Amino acid sequence: FLPHLVASMEEVEQTYIMIKPDGVQRGLVGEIISRFERKGFKLTGLKLFQCPKELAEEHYKDLQSKTFFPKLIDYITSGPVVCMGWEGVGVVASARKLIGATNPLNAEPGTIRGDLAVQTGRNVVHGSDSPDNGKREIVWSSAFELLLDMNETYIRIFTES
């Protein structure tokens, strides 16, 4: 029984989920992926990336005018992130529920941020806030790979420094 398959195509949404550098460094990748899998959503893509500054700025461009923007860009580019596409009925809103409130201190226990994080500036995971942004951000994450390849700046996590 695969819940994501029991739906008409119009109902199926895509969302972009990104495990932020703190989630990767704290060893929470499996824990976070597992929550989306157990819920019944379908993993459609997954990449480990070092996010270049200009693409972090593009991803968060709506927050450009905020005072925390420079810190947010430093955070997102501070280490590898895990970029994922997830698919399913209602996946955009449901993923936001699984993730919990932006400030982990306000996030309910049982949510990713509620269980695993304390600070807004280290809240372990990103999830698209609308179906349109879900599609846009997944496209962005593929463009990201191409741009990285073109610039030969792809940093492999397993490369010894």
The contact pattern for Mg ion, residues 115-144, with x = CB under 5 A and - = no contact, is --------------x---------------
96 annotated ligand-binding residue: yes
40 close to 61: Cβ distance less than 8 angstroms: no
151 annotated ligand-binding residue: no
Shortest CB 98 distance to Mg ion, Å: 15
In 40-120, alpha helices (H): 53-59, 69-76, 91-99, 112-116
Closest CA to 81 of 58, 50, 52, 56: 50
Shortest CB 25 distance to Mg ion, Å: 21
* Residue 64 main-chain phi, psi, to 5 deg: -50, -40
Q: By CB under 6 A, tell whether 72 contacts ligand UDP.
A: yes
The structure tokens listed for 123 are 């809240």
Residue 126 CA to residue 108 CA, distance in Å, equals: 16
Choose from Mg ion, ligand UDP, none: what does 72 bind? Cβ within 5-8 Å by kind. ligand UDP
Chosen residue from 52, 79, 114, 121 binding ligand UDP by CB under 6 A? 121
113 annotated ligand-binding residue: yes
Instruction: Tell the residue number behind the tokens 């990201």, with chain if given.
Output: 144
Catalytic residues: 126
Q: Could you tell me which residues are annotated as the binding site?
A: 20, 68, 96, 102, 113, 123
